[in-house]
Amino acid sequence: MAEIYDRVALIGLGLIASSMFWAIRRAGLAGEVRGYARSAETRETAREIGLCDRVCDTLSETVEGADLVVLCVPVGVMGDIAVEIAPLLKPGATVTDVGSVKSDVIAQVRPHIPDGVHFVPGHPLAGTEHSGPRSGFAELFDNRWCLLVPVEGTDPAAVDRLRRFWEGCGANVDEMDADHHDLVLAVTSHAPHLIAYTMVGVADDLRRVTDSEVIKYSAGGFRDFTRIAASDPTMWRDVFLSNKDATLEILGRFTEELFALQRAIRQGDGAHLHDYFTRTRAIRKGIIEAGQDTDAPDFGRGGGKK
């Protein structure tokens, strides 16, 4: 793969940024990668494991001369970072992000992007429950989707260049408008995370009564909820506050469906339950056929980072 950007700046050095670095290195997508994290401890860890060609102690050093600047921080602080880096950006550079919400990020970041700098919001649909600089691995984006959400008036050449970059990282790339992205993600990611957090919270309450049985006898269903609910709390707090309307809409519909299932159980309506479960089973089959998961008993995760 040919080099696409001379210098890439990664702001925030968690799972996504560290995986981006290893994917960039694997495919030779950039001449130099600089990284920055607010926490001195995170920067020290990054240096220790060889994450980034240069780990910087200031934002100005990180973005200086960068052709691509990637905001890999929680969505709640992206606007603050944009204010800080705006005067430092090289003309012709591209700024992108990896946030799970797009409308709010665009509202926060776009006003601060100077003329002559391209802003192409993005969202790689990839992750694990692990966080921090040590959690990244080059294969994270392989055959996963990355959604680009170009704002009106964006230079198509800048979008195409970023598309080729993400394809070089192993991802499939699609484009989507911001509001639609936020609704889709409320269904596929945000609401499921909230439901998982809730179920694990209920079990935690029960554990006070049942001692350690909830932990000891965890079957597959609950265990998978706990995997989702182990995700980074700061990131998810910001996601729900930033994608409030779409998440509340989907949770409202979820609640209606839940009440209908409660009624079917109460009334002994086996036909309703069987039909519902048959329909939902087909969704799982579709996900496997699309290559977005495996039907292996451990979902192909094998107890590793994936």
CB 8 within 8 A of CB 32: yes
For 5-176, CATH number out of 3.30.70.2660, 3.30.420.40, 3.40.50.720, 1.25.60.10 equals 3.40.50.720
Which DSSP helix (H) or strand (E) runs through 148? Answer: strand 145-148
Q: What percent of the chain has pLDDT over 70?
A: 94
In 3D space, the residue among 95, 218, 68, 81 whose CA is nearest the CA of residue 151 turns out to be 95
pLDDT band at 300 (very low <50, low <70, confident <90, very high): low
Decide whether 5-176 matches 180-268 in CATH topology.
no
Q: What is the pTM of this model?
A: 0.88
Q: Which residues contact 220 (CB under 8 A, 6 or more apart)?
A: none
How would you class 201 by CB atoms within 10 Å of its CB: exposed for 0-12, middle for 13-18, buried for 19 or more?
exposed
- 180-268, CATH topology level: 6-phosphogluconate dehydrogenase C-terminal fold (1.10.3660)
Domain boundaries, the chain: 5-176, 180-268
- pLDDT beyond 60 at 304: no
Backbone angles phi, psi at 154, to 5 degrees: -70, 140
End-to-end CA distance of the chain: 25
Tens-digit pLDDT profile for residues 146-198: 999 999 999 999 999 999 999 999 999 999 999 999 999 999 999 999 999 99
Q: Across the chain, what does the average pLDDT equal?
A: 92
pLDDT band at 1 (very low <50, low <70, confident <90, very high): low
Cα(150)–Cα(162) distance, integer angstroms: 11
